[in-house]
Chain A
Amino acid sequence: MKNYLLTTAALGAALFTSQAAMARDTIEIVGSSTVYPFATVVAERYGRGSGGATPKIEATGSGGGLKLFCSGVGASFPDITNSSRRIKASEFALCQSNGVSDIIEVQIGFDGIVIANAKGKPALDISRRDLFLALAKQVPSDSGALIDNPYTRWSQINPALPDAAIEVLGPPPTSGTRDAFAELALEGGCKSFPAIAAMKKSDKQAYKTVCHTVREDGVYIEAGENDNLIVQKLEANPSALGIFGFSFLDQNADKVQGSSIEGVEPTFDSIADKSYPVSRPLYFYVKKAHVGVVPGIEGFLAEFTSEKAWGDEGYLAEKGMIPLPRADRFALAAAVASLTAMTGEEPLK
């Protein structure tokens, strides 16, 4: 027993003294689960090409990633965070207050959010207004007053839509996809009511609450962060609609079909030229203080911003990411190469 105890104590002591002082030689990346499938491809190719350590990537969600990223400078904090939305002013301030003063912002491309149903059923053509009326918690009544959402069938909202129960599977509130869906699709439809649009000027908070709050009476079903699961559930329940990222539609074209939004089908081209309305920019943020300290960050940035990665025919496009316009790519790649940090003057929300 004595031996056991001694070994245990020695192990414990060795652990805590040696670990704290250890520097890191692997790049640590956290953040959005939407950017994760793209960042991982770049990390892997960078690792194999350079022969160095492959960056380690955790999918923590955009908000969780920025929180970790902004916690401080040093080996125990991540070097890069991925985000499926732009950094918020509050997060930028948190970074500054923790000494993360120089942040390099890199927009990498776009992701479309699709509203899909199972193959075999007719493909729908929905407007953002229809989506708002179907999924918002409160909607304007005929008299214009806000009432709890009374709609249960698509045909009640728009006679052109099928006479089927509204049933939508989508991501939970912790997901960046959900935030983006609320902002792009629901708010887009919400604004089309003049009374609500006027509210934006008078009471911004109330406007946001009306436009972004999703109904909680079981019509919108939170199906978890796993988009594959939503695809499977759509297959099992053909009358339901599902909300997920474009890359999953791209990979499961035999099982599900994307609904057109205001007449525009979700395709690679329609998202790239921005005619498809529900698409969002994808970003990652780099801690400038770590460049040169943790080996390989510069090489990773160069790989990510190379044409063979994020170009029109790059390997990220093949994985379903929609590239930025050519001129923007070159300007950004140059800015990243010279490690241009954010000034704090950007119009953040």
Chain B
Amino acid sequence: MTEPTSQAARPTPTDHSATIKASLKRRYRAETRFRWYGRIAIAFGLAAVLVLFVDIISKGHGAFKTTHIAVPVEYDLAQLGVRDLNDNQQLALADWDALFKSGLRELLPDVSGRSARRELYRMVSNGAGYDLKDRLQANPRLANQREQVWLSADDDIDTYFKGLLDGDPYTARVTEQQIEWIDELRSAGQIRTQWNRNFWTRGDSREPEQAGIWGAVMGSLFTLAITFALSFPIGVSAAIYLEEFAPRNRFTDFIEININNLAAVPSIIFGLLGLAIFINFFGVPRSIPILGGLVLTLMTLPTIIITSRAAIKAVPPSIREAALGMGASKHQVVLHHVLPLAMPGMLTGAIIGMAQALGETAPLLMIGMVAFIVDIPQAFTDPATVLPVQIFLWADSPERAFVEKTSAAIMVLLGFLIIMNTTAVWIRKRLERRW
């Protein structure tokens, strides 16, 4: 950092008059001030980003770990009332919760009384019974065997235990008895935090400890695949026609103005358009990635057309003229020379358009993609939701443990955006040609 005085004190040739000296001083000072304005602006921007990241990471890092309790489980088929592990009817009726309940009683044998036991059963996740069912179905050899399973703890226990490890436990949702039990389990090494696999492999859930981001990630991928497959070819074709073939007249001017206008239209309008056209007129089912992709295509098309046109404009006319001079047809000039040279710019524009589409929720609200969807979408026609919608839904949930899930989901979304934007910069650096 340069001090203004040290700059002003630079030696100047002695034969200059005092007025020039004075004005020189002033001009140096003005320049220094100007530089500082710039530095302050950058510092402000960086500080805002830093605050955002620190806030999100400090709130969300906890979501990547989750509390588990080691419970002895005996898969007693007779007690479950299951004779055949392939009979879904029997599996659906079985009392799977009984498996971990008896295990918990074994773990803390001196718990008696109905209400105390209920408190005890609440220590592990509501979905633990189903987890055990899935485990048994995947490994039929476990039938009638005993093993120790690390079951995920209930979200309230999880929040308390992680708080305890950080020295600031949240006690409002756990009872004193549960706190005692946790201490007991902790000294026996039967409770620990481990990597939260559920978060990366499951869909949405109303139990925070069972909720995952994978359903939303798949939904986003399917939706963006449709968006890219439609908007890139259409956008590039439109840009090439407008730039290379269309005559310059009032009609093409009118189209150009409209494309620029569409780029600035609030995205919710595209959602309404999608509702009116695709759902009400064509009868496309609500909430599926095809529909989301179609609506986001409408939204990203103007961006792609505008950036593609700019990329085509940047190809020097001399290349076109040389190709024409060698006897190429207009069609060949475009396909063989202009398009390959403009492609990096077009791809950059498309990626930026996709990144924009990835962060959209408003247009999806109207077409039913803001919904509670547990099953992970397997195809373009399965009901799905997308990453920003998942963030919105979790932010709206009453359970305390969803606060960290929300921040963690934001981190995942930011990760995707950073990857996409870095790719765009990389493509530009790598493939761009200067003339």
A143–B234 alpha-carbon span in the complex (Å) = 71
Task: Contact check, A5 vs B233: say whether CB atoms are below 8 A apart.
Answer: yes
A1-12 interface bits toward B, Cβ cutoff 8 Å, 1 = contact, 0 = none:
100110110010
Q: Of B206, B237, B286, B290, which is within 8 A of A37 by CB?
A: B206
Interface size on A, residues (CB 8 A): 52
Given A51-B91, A75-B285, the answer on whether A228 and B398 have CB atoms closer than 8 Å is yes
Q: Of B92, B171, B283, which is within 8 A of A50 by CB?
A: B92
A251–B173 alpha-carbon span in the complex (Å) = 7
Given A26-B383, A43-B374, A251-B173, the answer on whether A49 and B398 have CB atoms closer than 8 Å is no
Task: Contact check, A5 vs B237: say whether CB atoms are below 8 A apart.
Answer: yes
Q: Of B127, B234, B284, B398, which is within 8 A of A48 by CB?
A: B127
Contacts of A24 in B (CB 8 A): 285
A315–B122 alpha-carbon span in the complex (Å) = 10
Contacts of B399 in A (CB 8 A): 251
A247–B397 alpha-carbon span in the complex (Å) = 10
Q: Report the minimal beta-carbon distance from A306 to chain B, rounded to whole angstroms.
A: 12
Task: Contact check, B282 vs A315: say whether CB atoms are below 8 A apart.
Answer: no
Task: Contact check, B127 vs A37: say whether CB atoms are below 8 A apart.
Answer: no
Interface presence of A253 (CB below 8 A):
yes
A254–B229 alpha-carbon span in the complex (Å) = 50
A58–B369 alpha-carbon span in the complex (Å) = 8
Q: Of A16, A44, A228, A250, which is within 8 A of B396 by CB?
A: A228
Q: List CB contacts (< 8 Å) of B342-386 with chain A.
A: 368, 370-375, 381, 383
Task: Contact check, A247 vs B398: say whether CB atoms are below 8 A apart.
Answer: yes
B377-411 interface bits toward A, Cβ cutoff 8 Å, 1 = contact, 0 = none:
00001010000000000011111100000000000
Task: Contact check, B283 vs A44: say whether CB atoms are below 8 A apart.
Answer: no
Q: Of B172, B290, B335, B397, which is within 8 A of A254 by CB?
A: B172
Interface presence of A170 (CB below 8 A):
no
Interface presence of A20 (CB below 8 A):
yes
Task: Contact check, B230 vs A8: say whether CB atoms are below 8 A apart.
Answer: yes
Contacts of B381 in A (CB 8 A): 19, 22
A24-42 interface bits toward B, Cβ cutoff 8 Å, 1 = contact, 0 = none:
1010100001001100110
Q: Report the minimal beta-carbon distance from B137 to chain A, rounded to whole angstroms.
A: 10
Q: Kindly report which residue of chain B lies nearest to residue A37, judged by CB atoms.
A: B398
A252–B335 alpha-carbon span in the complex (Å) = 63
Task: Contact check, B371 vs A58: say whether CB atoms are below 8 A apart.
Answer: yes
Task: Contact check, B284 vs A47: say whether CB atoms are below 8 A apart.
Answer: no
Is chain B's interface secondary structure helix, strand, loop, or mixed overall?
Answer: loop
Task: Contact check, A56 vs B383: say whether CB atoms are below 8 A apart.
Answer: yes
Q: Of A44, A51, A313, which is within 8 A of B205 by CB?
A: A44
Q: Report the minimal beta-carbon distance from A3 to chain B, rounded to whole angstroms.
A: 9
A19–B395 alpha-carbon span in the complex (Å) = 33
Given A37-B397, A40-B206, A54-B375, the answer on whether A28 and B237 have CB atoms closer than 8 Å is no
Q: Kindly report which residue of chain B lies nearest to residue A57, judged by CB atoms.
A: B372
Q: Kindly report which residue of chain A lies nearest to residue B230, judged by CB atoms.
A: A8
Q: Report the minimal beta-carbon distance from A156 to chain B, rounded to whole angstroms.
A: 34
Q: List CB contacts (< 8 Å) of B138-174 with chain A.
A: 170-173
Q: Report the minimal beta-carbon distance from A45 to chain B, rounded to whole angstroms.
A: 8
A263–B229 alpha-carbon span in the complex (Å) = 63
Task: Contact check, A44 vs B374: say whether CB atoms are below 8 A apart.
Answer: yes
Q: Report the minimal beta-carbon distance from B18 to chain A, rounded to whole angstroms.
A: 58
A7–B127 alpha-carbon span in the complex (Å) = 44
Interface presence of B21 (CB below 8 A):
no
A5–B207 alpha-carbon span in the complex (Å) = 46
Q: Report the minimal beta-carbon distance from B12 to chain A, rounded to whole angstroms.
A: 56
A46-76 interface bits toward B, Cβ cutoff 8 Å, 1 = contact, 0 = none:
0111110110111100000000000000011
Contacts of B102 in A (CB 8 A): none
A248–B172 alpha-carbon span in the complex (Å) = 13
Q: Kindly report which residue of chain B lies nearest to residue A45, judged by CB atoms.
A: B126
Task: Contact check, B126 vs A315: say whether CB atoms are below 8 A apart.
Answer: yes
Q: List CB contacts (< 8 Å) of B83-97 with chain A.
A: 88, 91-92
A11–B283 alpha-carbon span in the complex (Å) = 16
Given A5-B233, A19-B284, the answer on whether A56 and B373 have CB atoms closer than 8 Å is yes
Q: Report the minimal beta-carbon distance from A74 to chain B, rounded to whole angstroms.
A: 10
Interface presence of B200 (CB below 8 A):
no
Given A5-B233, A76-B279, the answer on whether A15 and B374 have CB atoms closer than 8 Å is no
Contacts of A19 in B (CB 8 A): 282-285, 290, 381
A51–B88 alpha-carbon span in the complex (Å) = 8
Q: Report the minimal beta-carbon distance from B90 to chain A, rounded to whole angstroms.
A: 12
Given A8-B233, A8-B234, the answer on whether A28 and B286 have CB atoms closer than 8 Å is yes
User: Could you list 10 further interchain pairs (A-B, Cβ under 8 angstroms) beyond the known A41-B206, A54-B375?
Assistant: A19-B290, A28-B286, A37-B206, A41-B207, A47-B375, A57-B371, A59-B371, A75-B285, A247-B398, A252-B398
Show 19 residue pairs from A and B whose CB-CB distance is below 8 angstroms, ordered by the A residue.
Answer: A4-B237, A15-B290, A16-B284, A20-B282, A20-B283, A28-B286, A37-B206, A40-B372, A41-B206, A47-B375, A56-B372, A56-B383, A75-B285, A76-B283, A225-B396, A227-B398, A252-B400, A254-B172, A315-B126
The 10 closest A-B pairs by CB, nearest first: A4-B233, A54-B374, A254-B172, A57-B372, A20-B283, A58-B371, A40-B372, A251-B398, A41-B206, A253-B172
B residues sitting closer than 8 Å to A (CB atoms) are 88, 91-92, 118, 122, 126-127, 130, 170-173, 205-207, 229-230, 233-234, 236-237, 240, 279, 282-287, 290, 335, 368, 370-375, 381, 383, 395-400
